[in-house]
Amino acid sequence: MSKQTHDNKHLTLDERKIIQTGIENRSNKVDIARTIGKDPTTVAKEIRKHRTFKLRNQFIYPSICIHRQECGECKKQCPRYEEIKCNKRDKSPGACNKCPNIAKCHLDKYFYYATNADEEYKTDLVDYREGINMTTLEVKDLANIIKPLLEQGQSLYQIKSSHKEILLV
């Protein structure tokens, strides 16, 4: 068994394309991870985070409870309600891309597309790096203004309205 290399870098578009190809070939997450040299949990998290949800046709299949044959018209409010599980979708590989049963499947579906995943990742990366552009000293000064007023029972709206030196949005 070859040793995996964990380079602690983010997934690239090419690695995401390999993941998509692996899903389409119905490979499991361990094999996909071995191919790209990453940990299987990295692949599992990537698929789970960036897959696209497609709702089933609820007009034709309003309920997908495993007890619907016994109960008749089963609703989500029913205490026995339990959705049908799909091992191909829910376990490995985690998406329905090129599933052989997709045409006759009446469950909710998940699809993993490498280009969409890469775009989501880039958007998330920018969002995660955004924050308050303040130094530690400025944050402490702001806290010294706000904390006593909050303790007196004032709302944040009141505090911001009455203190023009607070420039937060």
Cα-based distances in Å from 96 to 15, 25, 27: 19, 11, 12
Round to whole Å and give the CA distance between 82 and 44: 24
**Count of domains for the chain:** 2
- If asked whether residues 36 and 47 sit together in one domain, one would say yes
| 3-class state of residue 74 by DSSP | coil
- If asked whether residues 118 and 137 sit together in one domain, one would say no
pLDDT of residue 1: 44
pLDDT of residue 49: 93
pLDDT of residue 37: 93
Residue 75 covered by a domain: yes
- If asked whether residues 154 and 80 sit together in one domain, one would say no
Round to whole Å and give the CA distance between 147 and 160: 12
Written as tens digits, the pLDDT of the chain (169 aa) is 445 554 557 899 999 999 999 999 999 999 999 999 999 999 999 999 999 999 887 777 777 777 777 776 666 677 787 778 887 787 778 899 999 888 888 888 999 999 999 999 998 887 777 777 777 788 888 888 889 999 999 888 888 888 887 776 4
- If asked whether residues 39 and 88 sit together in one domain, one would say yes
Name, in order, each residue with C-beta under 8 angstroms of 73's C-beta and a sequence gap of 6 or more: 63
What radius of gyration do the chain's Cα atoms show? Answer: 24
Domain that holds residue 146: 132-169
CA dihedral 50, 51, 57, 58 (to 10 degrees): -50
Residue 1 covered by a domain: no
Q: Ramachandran region of residue 54, left (φ > 0), alpha (ψ -120 to 50) or beta?
A: beta
